[in-house]
A and B are shown apart, each in its own frame.
Chain A
Amino acid sequence: MKHSFLDQYSQGNSLIHRLDPRTKLITTLFFILVVVLTPISRWQAFALYFVLVATLIIISRVPPLYVLRRSLAIIPFVVLIAIFIPFFKEGEVAGSYNIWMWQVTVTYSGLQVFLNILAKAWLSILSLILLTATTRFSHLLKGLEQLRLPRVMVMILSFMYRYIFVLVDEVMRMKQARDSRNLGGGRLRQLRTVGNMIGTLFIRSYERGERVYAAMMARGFDGQARTLEKPSFSQRDALFALTLGLVLILVVVANLWY
């Protein structure tokens, strides 16, 4: 039942942890927006963004190595989508290769765009990791609800979060059962086994959903979720949002002028 990959470190206590989830959500969104809008040639700006995120990570007392490891784990997927960029831009040719039937050329401007997009994606990922590593998922959902995400959606998400742990346990047990029976056979047979596992998981999940609903009805569920916690927007939040916002706006202005 302990799956720390979900929101490890979010129970910590630091300036960043104590901020209102709304503050963190909005500043993260704003940060990503500014990063994405930065023109390609502004390497100084990207360095500044990095310093900004790094400072916040250090303030939050989340181990930097953990953040780095997690962010690097996602980069291969980013590269997979970005892989076509360097080959097909016009401009000065950096190298030409012959792969099977295709004659491909890498251009300098293509490489620049490629690195640029990679940097943008990485910075956004860092800020998202910081957000989830310093905010409990339940708080995050509360923040999203206050920011007008449909209430039903928030409730479904909180249910989902609760049952992810249960179902992941279920998947782990099924995997163990499969591996201990030493599944061999060809690819098709393995696909079939995975299909059967998912099918079993679906039936069990559906039945669990019905049981949970019956239990909730028995306890008087009427479609509303009530919680005691009420995060509040304090002076600290205003100060944090203002400082970060000002720094980012200054960078944007500097980008436009120089």
Chain B
Amino acid sequence: MHIPDGFLNVATVAATCAVSAGGIGGAVKMVGRKLGEKQVPLMGILAAFIFAAQMLNFPVAGGTSGHVIGAALAAILLGPWAAVLIMSCVLIAQSLIFQDGGLLALGANIFNMGIVASFSAYYIYRLVTWLAGANRRGTLIGGFAAAWGSVFLASIFCAIELALSGSSPFGVVLPAMAGVHALIGIGEGLITGAVLGLVLATRADLLQLQRI
């Protein structure tokens, strides 16, 4: 879902950069207010954690493999603003170090996989745990739904940006992106659920952290 350079037109680049810059600014402020100087090592190491977690591949269909995006996990464990900050750092590093996602497209990528994915995951999780109860089952179902929803919604925004830039017609890129990511999201959901299950079994207190 990382958009490279060359796909987005200038208007889309400018708009997404502005929104993402605002989002990062808000995240820096919110996290700074709640965590103080503790945020620096913690957020840095957790950004490295997401980066490292993305190296763990799992089999998808037909010999291909995928990896998690991690926004949902970060949002559920630490809250949406902290997740925006962490995902932004991961995406900046990915663009600069691996050229995974373009430099001009960074605004769009941070918007999709940072802001949209984090906030949608957080609120879906809250909604599901409120409906299903804050027990083990609720947590696992909530984790699955949040991760699936975050991937799905992020891909829809990705498709909208591509279509608005004239790179691909809307009627094609939207169902294609959404369809593919509805499948990929299942993997993300199952893994997020498994991670939450393990954290719940070994360090349940980490699920009770103050969420930012």
Tell me the complex Cα distance, A154–B194, Å. 32
- A91 at interface (Cβ–Cβ under 8 A)? no
Tell me the complex Cα distance, A190–B57, Å. 10
Which residues 174-220 of A have a CB within 8 angstroms of B? Answer: 175, 187-188, 190-192, 194-203, 205-206, 208-210, 212-213, 216
Whether A125 contacts B77 by the Cβ 8 Å rule is no
- A121 at interface (Cβ–Cβ under 8 A)? yes
Q: Known contacts A81-B162, A150-B24; is A198 also within 8 Å of B45 by CB?
A: no
Which residues 18-64 of B have a CB within 8 angstroms of A? Answer: 24-25, 28, 32, 36-49, 51-53, 55-59
Which residues 49-80 of A have a CB within 8 angstroms of B? Answer: 70-71, 74, 77-78
Q: Known contacts A28-B103, A140-B96, A160-B48; is A117 also within 8 Å of B7 by CB?
A: yes
- A242 at interface (Cβ–Cβ under 8 A)? no
Which residues 107-159 of A have a CB within 8 angstroms of B? Answer: 113, 117-121, 123-125, 128-129, 131-132, 137, 140, 150, 152-153, 155-159
Whether B85 contacts A124 by the Cβ 8 Å rule is no
A233: B residues at CB distance < 8 A = none
- A238 at interface (Cβ–Cβ under 8 A)? no
Among A124, A150, A164, point to the contact of B28 (Cβ < 8 A).
A150
Tell me the complex Cα distance, A37–B13, Å. 12
Whether B43 contacts A201 by the Cβ 8 Å rule is no
B190: A residues at CB distance < 8 A = 188, 191-192, 195
B55: A residues at CB distance < 8 A = 168, 171
Binds A, one of B111-119, B121-129, B131-139, B198-206: B198-206
Minimum CB–CB distance from B171 to chain A (whole Å) comes to: 8
Whether A156 contacts B97 by the Cβ 8 Å rule is no
A153: B residues at CB distance < 8 A = 24, 28, 85, 88-89
Minimum CB–CB distance from B211 to chain A (whole Å) comes to: 14
- B3 at interface (Cβ–Cβ under 8 A)? yes
B45: A residues at CB distance < 8 A = 159-160, 163, 167, 205-206, 208-209, 212
Tell me the complex Cα distance, A205–B169, Å. 43
Describe B's contact surface by its main secondary structure: helix
- A35 at interface (Cβ–Cβ under 8 A)? yes
B40: A residues at CB distance < 8 A = 152, 155-156, 159, 223, 225
- Interface size for B (C-beta < 8 A) is 74
Binds B, one of A12-20, A82-90, A92-100, A247-255: A82-90
A47: B residues at CB distance < 8 A = none
Most buried by B among A140, A164, A188: A164
- A222 at interface (Cβ–Cβ under 8 A)? yes
Tell me the complex Cα distance, A102–B163, Å. 21
- A36 at interface (Cβ–Cβ under 8 A)? yes
B194: A residues at CB distance < 8 A = 191-192, 194-196, 198-199
A137: B residues at CB distance < 8 A = 96-97
Whether A171 contacts B56 by the Cβ 8 Å rule is yes
Minimum CB–CB distance from B58 to chain A (whole Å) comes to: 5
Q: Offer 7 A-B interface pairs, CB within 8 angstroms, sorted by A.
A: A81-B3, A121-B4, A128-B95, A132-B99, A161-B48, A167-B49, A191-B187
